[in-house]
Amino acid sequence: MNSLPAIISDFTPISLGEMDDVKLMSRTDTKFAFQTNKLPFLLKRLIPFYRVLAIDGKLIHDYKSLYYDTEERKFYIDHHNSRVNRNKIRFREYVGSGLTFLEIKRKNNKGKTIKKRMKVDAITKELSEKHKKYIKKIIGKKLVVNAKQWINFSRITLVHKTQKERLTIDINLTFENEKLSGELKQIIIAEVKQEKMSRSSDFMKIAKEMSILPIRLSKYCITTLQLNPDVKQNRFKEKLLFINKLKQA
Q: For residue range 216-225, what is the model confidence (pLDDT) as tens digits?
A: 999 999 999 9
Name every residue whose Cβ is closer than 8 Å to that of residue 136 and which is 6 or more positions away in sequence.
142, 143
Q: How far is CA 37 from the centre of its chain?
A: 20
Write down the pTM of the prediction.
Answer: 0.93
Name every residue whose Cβ is closer than 8 Å to that of residue 73 and which is 6 or more positions away in sequence.
148, 224, 231
Q: Quote the CA–CA distance of 105 and 216 in Å, as a whole number.
A: 16
Domains annotated on the chain, with CATH: 4-248 (2.40.320.10)
Return the number of other C-beta atoms located less than 10 Å from residue 10's C-beta.
Answer: 10
Residue 24 has pLDDT above 60, yes or no: no
Q: Which whole-number Å values give the CA distances from 230 to 13, 88, 109, 127, 139, in the listed order?
A: 45, 21, 29, 27, 28
Q: Which whole-number Å values give the CA distances from 140 to 73, 87, 88, 96, 102, in the listed order?
A: 18, 11, 14, 32, 16
The pLDDT tens digits for 100-121 are: 999 999 988 877 888 999 999 9
Share of the chain above pLDDT 90, in %: 78
Q: Quote the CA–CA distance of 234 and 80 in Å, as a whole number.
A: 8
pLDDT of residue 22: 63
pLDDT of residue 144: 96
Share of the chain above pLDDT 70, in %: 96
Averaged pLDDT score across all residues of the chain: 92
Using pLDDT thresholds of 50, 70 and 90, give the confidence band for residue 29: confident
Strands 12-14 and 50-53: parallel
Q: Quote the CA–CA distance of 223 and 239 in Å, as a whole number.
A: 12
pLDDT of residue 249: 67
Residue 35 phi, psi dihedral angles, 5° rounding: -75, 150
Residue 68 has pLDDT above 60, yes or no: yes
Residue 198 has pLDDT above 80, yes or no: no
Using pLDDT thresholds of 50, 70 and 90, give the confidence band for residue 1: low
Name every residue whose Cβ is closer than 8 Å to that of residue 64 and which is 6 or more positions away in sequence.
92, 93, 95, 123, 150, 152
Using pLDDT thresholds of 50, 70 and 90, give the confidence band for residue 78: very high
pLDDT of residue 21: 67
